[in-house]
Structure 1
Amino acid sequence: MPTPATDIANLYNILGSNELSRLDTHPVELLVTLRTISEAIPPAPQRIADVGGGPGKYAFALADQGHLVDLVDLSPGLIQLAQAEQDKRKATGKENLLQSLSVGNALDPTILHHGTYDAVLLLGPLYHLVDKSERVNAVANAVRLAKPNGVLFVAFVSIAAHLRDIAIREPGRLIADKEFYAKYLQDGRYEKFKPGVGNAHSFHTQVGDVKSFFADNFADTLELIELRSQEGILGGSLDATLSKSQPQVLQAWADLMYEKYSTGEEYLGCADHLIAVLKKRSL
């Protein structure tokens, strides 16, 4: 059954403030991901599509580097938050603005112009597309947006992340919801009703399944350059205390995670989030 887009939009309309601050409390994820992007694309200005980019934390950070960024998200509430930041920047005379902001669905092939982007970010949509056909469709749309030899950045949530979370907060759920978790560990589908936020549809995956997803569905159009842990070995919110550190201390930890602990097979399982870096093949 396809993922109800209205449920996901409503979820993020409710969780907007949390989404705005999430990367402030997980700074290693932010810094490692930004470095991953910067290392994989030429220097600014590059044209970048941030599809499913929420309130624009990455979009504005990349604009600050001089890139030309178009932001799209399914949630009107999150786009409103991004627009508020855009308006604030305009009011203070800041030059590095987003090129455009719009409400749109990663599954819609008409959201932006095809073949015009040096890089396409798909850092959120695959978290919530529970049917494989939808995930294939979202990536295929991102491929269409990219120029030949353009770079895609596609993020996934690890099954290990959710297991760590319930082990810390509600360990009894593994037994109380035994049948649910037996199925979840097989297909990664997390579909539950959460009081106060409604239906929560999300998809979580294993490291090996990320690689096979691209090999099975995009071997002719995409080359997988690397798969990286966005937190290094500091998944499970182990980077949270670093948000209170001095900038140079935080940067030193982020650099260590990026350089030593984010691409080795033995470290990928430590991730909450995995980012695949792919190049669009020239036909």
Structure 2
Amino acid sequence: MSETVKRYYDDSAEREWSRLDHPYSRVEWLSTLRLMDRYLPETGHICDIGSGPGRYAAELLQQGYRVTLIDLSVKALALAEQEFRKLGLQAEAYLCEDARNLHLLEADQFEGALVLGPLYHILEEEQRLQVIRQTARILKADGVALFSYINSWGVLKAGVTEFSESYRDPEQIYGYLQEQKLDENRGFTESYFTIPAKALDEVRAGGFDILSYAGAESFLAGMSAEVTRLYREDRLVYDNLLQAASETSEAPQYREATEHLIIVARKKAAELENHAW
């Protein structure tokens, strides 16, 4: 990924650690944990690719998994190690590498993988496919991975309350009906947004069978302000909605139009004999 993306995450390490504590982001957090619990193997070694400061890795370590963290930000990894130490946790390794460099890892060594961020920032399709193929290569037979994309359709909906002024230009609205490649002036940093069908096709082309996919925010997508208000004013309603949203994130009527699309996939059997990418 570019120096722009690396700089963004170096500057955002602390914010990324606390981001999932925001009342709205808790929906994404719980939905992702539910998918991890439902689809990852019960034990084994998990590779967290694009781990950031390690919020999901910490959860896995607490459940008894072995975890290797990979991230392009040395500051994020340093924060992960610091926070893990406070919790009495220790990862197998903290590797400061671009997700496109997974070829440096040995094949067939992980039971599962998380790829919950790198694909947001890789603008070229062939490079995204490289990450997905290499994820398949490092997984053992029947290994399961979770891939996250930013969904243009969900961003369009969120924009109604978060950046509606940009919709004075109708082209901005219709642009979100397809994939978008944004520079740091238009995105939160250099970013890639896509649509569900294209994301699913990429994961299949990278050597995986799709098990399921989810919209992390479920029916609460685009409602950050209202969800936050309920958190402050009516915690019972908030808690009930949070639970229901996380439990319905895979429901077809919700998963197509949320900001975070999470694809759950299993390594294809045919890939076991083909590591020559």
Q: TM-score, normalised by structure 1?
A: 0.83
Query: Displacement, 1:29?
Result: 1.1
- Going from structure 1 to structure 2, the CA distance change for 1:244 and 1:108 (only over 3 Å counts) comes to farther
* Alignment partner of 1:72 is 2:70: yes
Aligned to 2:210: 224
The residue type paired with residue 88 of structure 1 is K
Three-state SS of the structure 1 residue aligned to 2:57 is helix
| Alpha-carbon displacement from aligned partner over 1:190-212 (angstroms, at most 9, x marks no partner) | 22327xxx982111111222223
Matches within 5 A, 1:82-101: 82-89=80-87, 94=88, 96-101=89-94
Three-state SS of the structure 2 residue aligned to 1:174 is helix
- Going from structure 1 to structure 2, the CA distance change for 1:180 and 1:251 (only over 3 Å counts) comes to closer
* Alignment partner of 1:257 is 2:245: yes
- Going from structure 1 to structure 2, the CA distance change for 1:183 and 1:170 (only over 3 Å counts) comes to closer
Query: Displacement, 1:122?
Result: 0.3
Aligned to 1:188: 180
For the 8 Å contact 2:209–2:268, the answer to whether it is kept is yes
Matches within 5 A, 1:261-280: 261-280=248-267
- Going from structure 1 to structure 2, the CA distance change for 1:65 and 1:160 (only over 3 Å counts) comes to same
* Alignment partner of 1:162 is 2:162: no
Aligned to 2:274: none
Aligned residue pair count: 266
The residue type paired with residue 111 of structure 2 is D
Take 1:70 and 1:140, find their aligned partners in 2: how far apart are those partners? 18
For the 8 Å contact 1:106–1:141, the answer to whether it is kept is no
For the 8 Å contact 2:4–2:184, the answer to whether it is kept is no
Aligned to 2:189: 200
Identity of aligned residues (%): 26
Aligned to 1:7: 4
Gapped runs of 5+ residues in structure 2? 271-277
Aligned to 1:139: 132
- Which of 45, 51, 56 is equivalent to 2:54? 56
- Going from structure 1 to structure 2, the CA distance change for 1:251 and 1:175 (only over 3 Å counts) comes to closer
Query: Displacement, 1:168?
Result: 1.7
Gapped runs of 5+ residues in structure 1? none
The residue type paired with residue 32 of structure 1 is S
For the 8 Å contact 2:178–2:194, the answer to whether it is kept is no
For the 8 Å contact 1:52–1:74, the answer to whether it is kept is yes
Q: TM-score, normalised by structure 2?
A: 0.85
Query: Displacement, 1:253?
Result: 4.3
For the 8 Å contact 2:123–2:191, the answer to whether it is kept is yes
Aligned to 1:210: 199
Three-state SS of the structure 1 residue aligned to 2:143 is strand
Query: Displacement, 1:256?
Result: 2.3
| Alpha-carbon displacement from aligned partner over 1:93-126 (angstroms, at most 9, x marks no partner) | x2x4211112111100334332110001100000
The residue type paired with residue 219 of structure 2 is I
- Which of 116, 123, 128 is equivalent to 1:130? 123
Query: Displacement, 1:158?
Result: 1.1
Greater shift after overlay, 100-109 or 63-72? Answer: 100-109
For the 8 Å contact 2:46–2:68, the answer to whether it is kept is yes
Superposed CA RMSD? 2.7
Greater shift after overlay, 118-127 or 185-194? Answer: 185-194
Q: Which has the higher helix share?
A: 2
Take 2:113 and 2:107, find their aligned partners in 1: how far apart are those partners? 11
Query: Displacement, 1:244?
Result: 6.1
- Which of 216, 219, 229 is equivalent to 1:233? 219
| Alpha-carbon displacement from aligned partner over 1:197-232 (angstroms, at most 9, x marks no partner) | x982111111222223234x24xx311000111122
Three-state SS of the structure 1 residue aligned to 2:221 is coil
The residue type paired with residue 100 of structure 2 is L
Query: Displacement, 1:239?
Result: 4.7
The residue type paired with residue 267 of structure 2 is K
- Going from structure 1 to structure 2, the CA distance change for 1:241 and 1:147 (only over 3 Å counts) comes to farther
Aligned to 2:42: 43
